């Protein structure tokens, strides 16, 4: 038998990684943690505040409202973009000249910088000069996103759908393209309907890319800042003030560093937690449905 | 169940064309008799799968018609033709259990659960899947998955034919044998027409009543395994079937005399005027060649190489530029590097421009 030698020198090998992670994540994060437990009245003088900011935050109505708005926004976005993305991917051509045309058209919105997207829609939807806003107003719709919260919400959601559905489409399309022809041929021979082909071949084969699509869209939409900030600035009132917009108002607008730091941490933990929940639920979807197996045939 | 007739079928993937090179499948006429077991043999890319897809209706042929007995079904869809097809790689529905997979073709045809259940259980027993019936198909081994694919074909009792597109490619050799005999048993039991595509000649020869050999989009021979072995109609068939394949060597023929280089050999039949052919070749299987000591009367050859493949040896011998493979029994002692090649006249086939010439006795 070989005597096992303990050699702690190996820890030094981990040191470079530790340093990189420290500079990229731990140190910036710790400054936030530092602010979150202290209070200041300026002049670089800090007082220990303990868990007070967190306690305030958890009981703050303003935070609750922003959080609910954020959840609602992400929920609506996912409910629209995922099914729409699947439908568009399903109806895209599989071969011929239509493929590059569709792919480029789909990729275009993804290439536009966030604030440009915001600016485009800000102008596009304006009632006085915007093509969309003016047309809607001329048709008799009471549409004005600077005054009506519902119109503001619709504008922001339509903008996000326009900007990001392409991502879902491209991911789903990649998933669809990886299905061998034999599956479709077998389905024809088995006499499967179009819906059965979707339900039993296409959807299961897209499962993995859909998981990625949902995760990416959830995280992105939960952290959305630039586009609604440019279009509505969080208004009218606070109706489109999502978490990130609220956070910036708190940190830079009011310069409440402590509460803002506490909110940042909580925000981060919520995203981490929800992403984990999504991932666990979605990767278990396949396994769960096996237990109720033969009974439903 | 019906006879399946292909009438002047041809297929080009790029649509109708005057250029014969565009056709993956050249014009062919063929009838598959009801209840027979056929093997479709040929190298990769010779049009076997195209032909299969035309029969099953996954492809509509560019030219010609498909008939089930006297009914033209060329334009009918796959489900209306009632044909089952099993593919090279197992196709299973991942999210379903084995039971649901097997029941799927029946459910799509609106059968009730009462009808489906006993049938699925019976079939699962026949295929040896009864223990996995309620587990997810996704997690089974490749051969179990292929059995499921097979089962989905067999579950419909009234199928006109079952088409197999190299179904055992992904299966381990020892399971291959078992699955193949299972298929044969099922075929006997149900009597459906079976068309089995393969590029493995042993699979084709052991399996089928009749073998259809394809080469470059055309059918070069239809016959029993014995026909293909003894009297290949095309040099390709001779070369493709057998291990090693038939020796094909240029020669001249005058009446019943075969002139091979400087040697004159007797033939057991005579051939008329062969001057219409640009190329005359003799074909003889390695099994019908033997080697005699160099001193004997006959064709003097050099021994190039001797391969021992277990049950017998394969000698490669050279006559000028031409190589012959000779199967020699295990115990033959080969001392010299020269030998005399003995050809069995009964088993010599003569080919003019790659096509076998009959000759008269």
Which CATH number covers residue B173? 3.40.50.300
pLDDT(B172) > 60: yes
**B184 and B330 share one domain:** no
Q: What is the mean pLDDT for each group of 10 consecutive residues in chain A (297 residues)?
A: 75 89 87 84 78 83 88 94 94 88 91 89 86 86 84 90 93 91 87 88 88 89 87 82 86 82 88 87 63 38
Q: How many CB atoms lie within 10 A of CB B82?
A: 20
**A43 and A105 share one domain:** no
Q: Cα–Cα distance between A188 and B80 in angstroms, integer?
A: 10
**Which of A185, A189, A195, A296 is the best residue to mutate to test the B interface, defined by the most B CB atoms within 10 Å of its own CB?**
A189
Q: Calculate mean pLDDT across residues B61-81.
A: 83
B58 and A188 within 8 Å at the Cβ level: the answer is yes
The CATH number given to whatever domain includes residue A183 is 1.10.3720.10
What is the count of residue pairs from A and B with beta carbons less than 8 Å apart?
77
**A139 and A244 share one domain:** yes
**B102 and B194 share one domain:** yes
**A170 and A209 share one domain:** yes
Measured torsion, CA atoms of residues A211, A216, A221, A223, in degrees rounded to the nearest 10: 130
Q: Which residues of B touch A296 (CB under 8 A)?
A: 100
Do A275 and A66 meet the contact criterion of CB atoms below 8 Å apart? no
Q: Compare CB distances from A192 to B83, B108, B134 and report the shortest one's residue.
A: B108
Task: Give per-residue pLDDT as tens, B202-244.
Answer: 777 877 888 888 888 888 888 888 888 888 888 988 888 887 8
Q: Is the peptide bond before A236 cis (omega within 30 degrees of 0)?
A: yes
Burial A142-168 (b: 16+ CB within 10 A, else e): ebbbbeeeebbbebbbebbbebbbbbb
Q: Compare CB distances from B108 to A191, A201, A204 and report the shortest one's residue.
A: A191
Which of B195, B218, B240 terminates a domain? The answer is B240
User: Residue A229 domain-assigned?
Assistant: yes
**B31 and B168 share one domain:** yes
**B15 and B47 share one domain:** yes
Per-residue pLDDT, B336 = 67
Domain count, chain B: 2
Task: Kindly identify which residue of chain B lies nearest to residue A286, measuring between CA atoms.
Answer: B95
Nearest to A117 by CA among A2, A41, A230: A230
A189 and B85 within 8 Å at the Cβ level: the answer is yes
Provide the pLDDT confidence category of residue B279 given band limits of 50, 70 and 90: confident
Q: Compare CB distances from A185 to B87, B103, B109 and report the shortest one's residue.
A: B87
**A190 and A65 share one domain:** yes
The CATH number given to whatever domain includes residue B265 is 2.40.50.140
User: Residue A187 domain-assigned?
Assistant: yes
Do A102 and A93 meet the contact criterion of CB atoms below 8 Å apart? yes
**A169 and A44 share one domain:** no
pLDDT(B199) > 80: no
Q: Which residues of A touch B138 (CB under 8 A)?
A: 286
**B236 and B253 share one domain:** no
Per-residue pLDDT, A290 = 42
B85 and A183 within 8 Å at the Cβ level: the answer is no
Per CB distance under 8 Å, which residues of B are interface residues toward A? 53, 56, 58, 77-79, 83-85, 87-89, 91, 93-97, 99-100, 103-105, 107-109, 113, 116, 133-136, 138, 149, 152-153
Do A266 and A54 meet the contact criterion of CB atoms below 8 Å apart? yes
**B171 and B34 share one domain:** yes
Tell me the H-state helices in A112-148: 114-124, 131-138
Q: Compare CB distances from B105 to A191, A286, A296 and report the shortest one's residue.
A: A191
User: Residue A4 domain-assigned?
Assistant: no
Per-residue pLDDT, A162 = 92
**B205 and B257 share one domain:** no
A142 φ, ψ to 5°? -90, 80
A99 φ, ψ to 5°? -65, -55
Per-residue pLDDT, A12 = 87
Q: Which residues of A touch B84 (CB under 8 A)?
A: 189
Per-residue pLDDT, A81 = 94
Residues 6+ away with beta carbon under 8 Å from A279? A211, A215
Q: Which residues of A touch B158 (CB under 8 A)?
A: none
A180 and B89 within 8 Å at the Cβ level: the answer is yes
**B144 and B291 share one domain:** no
**Which of A186, A199, A202 is the best residue to mutate to test the B interface, defined by the most B CB atoms within 10 Å of its own CB?**
A186
Measured torsion, CA atoms of residues B281, B283, B288, B293, in degrees rounded to the nearest 10: 30
Per-residue pLDDT, A295 = 37
Q: Cα–Cα distance between B18 and B247 in angstroms, integer?
A: 36
**B276 and B137 share one domain:** no
Tokens (6 digits) for B357: 């010439």
Q: Cα–Cα distance between A232 and A230 in angstroms, integer?
A: 6
Task: Kindly identify which residue of chain B lies nearest to residue A191, measuring between CA atoms.
Answer: B79
User: Residue A295 domain-assigned?
Assistant: no
Q: Compare CB distances from A188 to B79, B134, B138 and report the shortest one's residue.
A: B79
Per CB distance under 8 Å, which residues of A are interface residues toward B? 180, 182-183, 185-186, 188-193, 196, 200-201, 204-205, 286, 289-290, 293-294, 296-297
A192 and B149 within 8 Å at the Cβ level: the answer is no
Range of the domain at B55: 4-240
Domain count, chain A: 2
A290 and B97 within 8 Å at the Cβ level: the answer is yes
Q: Which residues of B touch A286 (CB under 8 A)?
A: 94-95, 138
**B196 and B292 share one domain:** no
Task: Kindly identify which residue of chain B lies nearest to residue A285, measuring between CA atoms.
Answer: B95
What end-to-end distance do the CA atoms of chain A give, in Å? 57
Closest CA–CA distance from residue B205 to any residue of chain A (Å): 27
B134 and A201 within 8 Å at the Cβ level: the answer is no
Q: Which residues of A touch B95 (CB under 8 A)?
A: 200, 204, 286, 289
Q: Which residues of B touch A191 (CB under 8 A)?
A: 78-79, 105, 108-109
**A25 and A108 share one domain:** no
Q: Which residues of B touch A189 (CB under 8 A)?
A: 56, 58, 78-79, 83-85, 105, 153
Q: Which residues of B touch A293 (CB under 8 A)?
A: 97, 99-100, 134-136
Residue the block writes with tokens 């209706």: B57
**Which of A182, A190, A286 is the best residue to mutate to test the B interface, defined by the most B CB atoms within 10 Å of its own CB?**
A190
User: Residue A56 domain-assigned?
Assistant: no
**B17 and B116 share one domain:** yes
Residues 6+ away with beta carbon under 8 Å from A247? A260, A263, A264, A267
Per-residue pLDDT, A292 = 40
Q: Which residues of A touch B134 (CB under 8 A)?
A: 293-294
The mean pLDDT value of chain B amounts to 84
Range of the domain at A163: 61-286
What is the number of residues in chain B?
Answer: 361
Q: Cα–Cα distance between B182 and B185 in angstroms, integer?
A: 5
Closest CA–CA distance from residue B59 to any residue of chain A (Å): 10
pLDDT(B310) > 70: yes
Closest CA–CA distance from residue B90 to any residue of chain A (Å): 9
**A76 and A33 share one domain:** no
């Amino acid at each position: 038998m070989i005597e096992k030698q303990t050699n702690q020198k190996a820890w030094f090998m981990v040191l470079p990684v530790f340093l990189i992670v420290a500079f990229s994540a731990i140190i910036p994060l710790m400054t936030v943690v530092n602010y979150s437990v202290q209070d200041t009245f300026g002049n670089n003088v800090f007082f220990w505040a303990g868990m007070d900011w967190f306690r305030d935050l958890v009981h703050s109505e303003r935070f609750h409202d922003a959080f609910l708005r954020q959840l609602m926004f992400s929920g609506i976005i996912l409910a629209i973009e995922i099914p729409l993305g699947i439908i568009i991917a399903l109806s895209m051509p599989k071969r011929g000249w239509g493929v590059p045309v569709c792919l480029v058209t789909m990729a275009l919105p993804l290439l536009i910088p966030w604030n440009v997207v915001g600016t485009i829609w800000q102008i596009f939807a304006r009632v006085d000069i915007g093509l969309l806003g003016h047309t809607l107003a001329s048709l008799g719709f009471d549409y004005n996103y600077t005054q009506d919260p519902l119109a503001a919400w619709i504008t922001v959601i339509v903008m996000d759908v326009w900007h990001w559905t392409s991502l879902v489409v491209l991911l789903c399309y990649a998933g669809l393209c990886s299905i061998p022809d034999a599956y479709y041929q077998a389905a024809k021979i088995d006499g499967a309907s179009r819906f059965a082909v979707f339900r039993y071949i296409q959807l299961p084969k897209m499962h993995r890319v859909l998981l990625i699509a949902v995760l990416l869209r959830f995280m992105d939409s939960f952290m959305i800042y630039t586009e609604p900030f440019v279009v509505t600035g969080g208004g009218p009132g606070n109706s489109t003030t999502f978490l990130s917009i609220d956070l910036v108002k708190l940190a830079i607008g009011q310069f409440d560093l402590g509460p803002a730091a506490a909110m940042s941490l909580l925000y981060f933990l919520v995203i981490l937690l929800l992403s984990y929940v999504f991932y666990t639920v979605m990767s278990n979807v396949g396994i769960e449905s096996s237990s109720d197996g033969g009974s439903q045939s | 169940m019906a006879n399946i007739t292909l009438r002047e079928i041809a297929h080009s993937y790029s649509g109708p064309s005057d250029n014969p090179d565009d056709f993956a499948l050249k014009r062919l006429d063929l009838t598959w008799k009801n209840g027979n077991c056929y093997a479709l043999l040929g190298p990769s890319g010779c049009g076997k799968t195209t032909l299969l897809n035309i029969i099953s209706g996954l492809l509509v042929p560019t030219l010609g018609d498909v008939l089930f007995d006297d009914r033209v079904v060329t334009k009918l869809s796959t489900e209306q033709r009632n044909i089952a097809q099993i593919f090279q790689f197992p196709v299973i529905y991942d999210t379903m259990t084995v039971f649901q997979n097997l029941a799927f073709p029946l459910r799509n045809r609106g059968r009730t659960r009462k009808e489906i259940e006993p049938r699925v259980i019976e079939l699962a027993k026949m295929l040896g899947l009864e223990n996995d019936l309620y587990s997810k198909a996704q997690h089974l081994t490749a051969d179990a998955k292929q059995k499921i694919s097979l089962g989905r074909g067999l579950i419909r009792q009234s199928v006109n034919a079952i088409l197999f597109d190299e179904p055992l490619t992904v299966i381990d050799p020892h399971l291959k044998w078992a699955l193949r005999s299972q298929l044969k048993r099922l075929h006997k039991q149900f009597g459906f027409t079976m068309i089995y595509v393969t590029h493995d000649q042993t699979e084709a020869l052991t399996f089928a009543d009749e073998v259809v050999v394809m080469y470059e989009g055309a059918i070069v021979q239809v016959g029993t395994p014995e026909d293909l072995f003894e009297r290949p109609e095309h040099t390709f068939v001779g070369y493709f079937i057998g291990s090693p394949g038939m020796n094909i060597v240029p020669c001249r023929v005058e009446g019943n005399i075969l002139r091979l280089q400087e040697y004159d050999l007797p033939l057991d039949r005579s051939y008329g005027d062969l001057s219409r052919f640009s190329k005359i070749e003799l074909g003889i299987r390695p099994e019908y060649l033997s080697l005699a000591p160099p001193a004997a009367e006959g064709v003097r050859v050099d021994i190039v190489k001797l391969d021992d493949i277990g049950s017998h040896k394969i000698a490669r011998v050279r006559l000028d530029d031409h190589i012959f493979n000779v199967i020699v029994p295990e115990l033959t002692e080969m001392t010299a590097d020269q030998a005399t090649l003995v050809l069995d006249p009964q088993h010599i086939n003569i080919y003019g421009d790659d096509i076998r010439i009959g000759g008269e006795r």
